[in-house]
């Protein structure tokens, strides 16, 4: 009975190794290259769409501010039936009744107004335009972040796919060793415990393969979210985790990269734009002390009856000079001054952060590339060790403990190689983002 159970576990492990996708008609997967994923995220990710809407809002505020200098035209018509107390109006002549009315009054009138001079309105218009520039820069920052996020999510899928391939290779080796151990036992040159050890390794490899497949599925879901897709969308990546992935067109020296980042980083441009908005807002507040000139007029007909109504008009020019508003204007100007200084501090700190990010990314990239070479050599040596241990076991000069140890060493070497390639790729993504070039990754 126990023998049948052990045999069942072994067959289950082999089934897990060889199992493919569940039967059924699966939807056609979305095939994505690394460059296409980056482009899609940079253009259509939810964060990018929201940033675009905020830019539209800022553009609408420009139209609102511009409306101050455009003519205003309205029409109104009304009917009124009333009476009034003549004494309350100061009319106390003999023969004039106290209550006059009721009577009807009709009035229909066009009214127009135009601002001729408004220094504060001009400053507010400049502030609104500066907000558009800031929103556009913030949209660029959102696009950069979305591109970098999608790049990292794609690389995680590629790493998970490489781990699935590695676990399948481990499982294939484990299955071969089971067959070899059984053959050695049948030939009388190996003990039964060698078969048991080999089957244990096979079951362990099957479990590791299940975990790797689960991690791959989770990484695909993360990629759909980074791209703004439905999480149920099946995705098939077309690029693998190789030394050629990704490619970033960054300068060769750290100084050139930092200089490029200072000119290209949209988050720095957005912070500078926020400072400009605060400065123009302060100018608008200061300009409120200056005179404002408006012209207004109306024309219409009025009378006790529509048939007896006559045309009337008026036109006038008004000059307004603010004098004192309880020092609220001064308080608002002081607030904008603090906002300007705050933006200057953030911009200065961001410039230092950019330089630090570039330097850190270069250090990580150099380390990861060196580790990649070491991991590649370690993988080659582990494969040689595995081949030699297997030959010794097949020749009967060693037990399968030596083979199992070599198999574990090969497994660790495969994982180290995958992690080294992933670290080099992510370091390159970090360098591209630090330079403001995440949207150009391919």
- The secondary structure of 34-52 as a DSSP string is HHHHHHHHHHHSHHHHHHH
Q: How confident is the model at residue 110 (pLDDT cuts 50, 70, 90)?
A: very high
Task: Find the helix packing angle between 192-227 and 2-18, rounded to 10°.
Answer: 40
Residue 25: the pLDDT is: 56
pLDDT above 80: residue 299:
yes
Mean pLDDT of the chain: 88
Q: How confident is the model at residue 4 (pLDDT cuts 50, 70, 90)?
A: very low
Residue 142: the pLDDT is: 93
Residue 195: the pLDDT is: 84
CA distance 151 to 164: 20
Residue 304: the pLDDT is: 85
pLDDT above 60: residue 2:
no
Pick the CATH number of 28-73+117-291+331-440 from 3.60.110.10, 1.20.1600.10, 3.20.10.10, 3.30.70.1560: 1.20.1600.10
Between CA 276 and CA 436, with CA 138 as vertex, the angle to 5 degrees is 105
| Residue whose C-alpha is closest to residue 130's, from 283, 260, 261, 262 | 283
Sequence-distant (≥ 6) Cβ neighbours of residue 111 within 8 angstroms: 73, 74, 75, 76, 296, 297, 298
Q: What is the pLDDT of residues 154-199, one digit of tens each?
A: 999 999 999 999 999 999 888 888 888 888 888 877 788 888 888 8
Q: Where are the domains of the chain?
A: 28-73+117-291+331-440
CB-neighbour burial class of residue 383 (10 A; exposed 0-12, middle 13-18, buried 19+): middle
Q: What is the pLDDT of residues 267-278, one digit of tens each?
A: 999 999 999 989
Please indicate whether residue 72 or residue 242 has the higher confidence score (pLDDT). Answer: 72
CA distance 120 to 278: 14
H or E element, residue 81: strand 72-85
Taking the model in full, what pTM does it have?
0.84
Asked if 67 and 104 count as a contact pair (C-beta separation under 8 A), the reply is no
Q: Could you give the dihedral angle defined by the CA atoms of residues 211, 214, 219 and 223, in that order, rounded to the nearest 10 degrees?
A: 170
Average pLDDT rounded to a whole number, residues 227-252: 88
Q: How far is CA 101 from CA 81, 83, 92, 96, in A?
A: 9, 4, 16, 12
Strands (E), 88-199: 99-118
């Amino acid at each position: 009975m126990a023998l049948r159970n052990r045999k069942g576990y072994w067959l289950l492990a082999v089934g897990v190794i060889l199992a493919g996708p569940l039967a059924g008609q699966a939807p056609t997967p979305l095939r994505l290259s690394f460059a296409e994923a980056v482009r899609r995220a940079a253009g259509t990710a939810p964060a990018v769409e929201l940033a675009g809407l905020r830019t539209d809002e800022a553009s609408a505020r420009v139209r609102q501010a511009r409306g101050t200098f455009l003519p205003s035209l309205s029409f109104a018509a009304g009917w009124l039936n009333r009476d009034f107390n003549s004494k309350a109006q100061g009319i106390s002549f003999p023969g004039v009744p106290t209550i006059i009315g009721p009577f009807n009054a009709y009035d229909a009138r066009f009214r127009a107004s135009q601002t001729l001079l408004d220094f504060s309105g001009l400053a507010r218009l400049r502030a609104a335009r500066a907000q558009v520039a800031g929103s556009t820069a913030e949209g660029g920052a959102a696009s950069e972040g979305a591109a970098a996020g999608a790049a990292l999510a794609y690389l995680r899928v590629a790493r998970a796919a490489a781990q699935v391939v590695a676990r399948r290779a481990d499982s294939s080796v484990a299955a071969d060793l089971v067959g070899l151990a059984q053959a050695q036992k049948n030939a009388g040159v190996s003990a039964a415990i060698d078969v048991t050890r080999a089957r244990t390794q096979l079951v362990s490899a099957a479990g590791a393969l299940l975990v790797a497949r689960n991690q791959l599925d989770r990484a695909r879901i993360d990629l759909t979210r980074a791209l703004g897709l439905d999480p149920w969308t099946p995705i098939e990546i077309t690029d693998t985790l190789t030394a050629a992935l990704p490619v970033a067109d960054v300068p060769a020296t750290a100084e050139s990269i930092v200089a490029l980042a200072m000119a290209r980083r949209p988050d720095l441009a957005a912070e500078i734009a926020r400072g400009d908005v605060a400065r123009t807002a302060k100018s608008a507040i200061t300009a409120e002390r200056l005179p404002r000139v408006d012209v207004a007029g109306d024309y219409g007909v009025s009378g006790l009856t529509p048939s007896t109504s006559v045309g009337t008009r008026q036109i006038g020019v008004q000059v307004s000079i603010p004098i004192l508003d309880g020092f609220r204007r001064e308080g608002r100007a002081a607030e904008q001054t603090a906002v300007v200084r705050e933006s200057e501090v953030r911009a200065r700190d961001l410039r230092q952060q950019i330089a630090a990010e570039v330097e850190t990314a270069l250090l990580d990239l150099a380390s990861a590339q060196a580790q990649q070479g070491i991991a590649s050599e370690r993988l080659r040596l582990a494969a040689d060790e595995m081949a030699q241990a297997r030959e010794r076991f097949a020749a009967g000069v060693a037990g399968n403990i030596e083979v199992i140890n070599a198999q574990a060493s090969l497994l660790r070497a495969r994982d180290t190689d995958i992690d080294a390639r992933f670290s080099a790729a992510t370091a390159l993504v970090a360098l591209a983002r630090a330079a403001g070039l995440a949207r150009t990754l391919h």
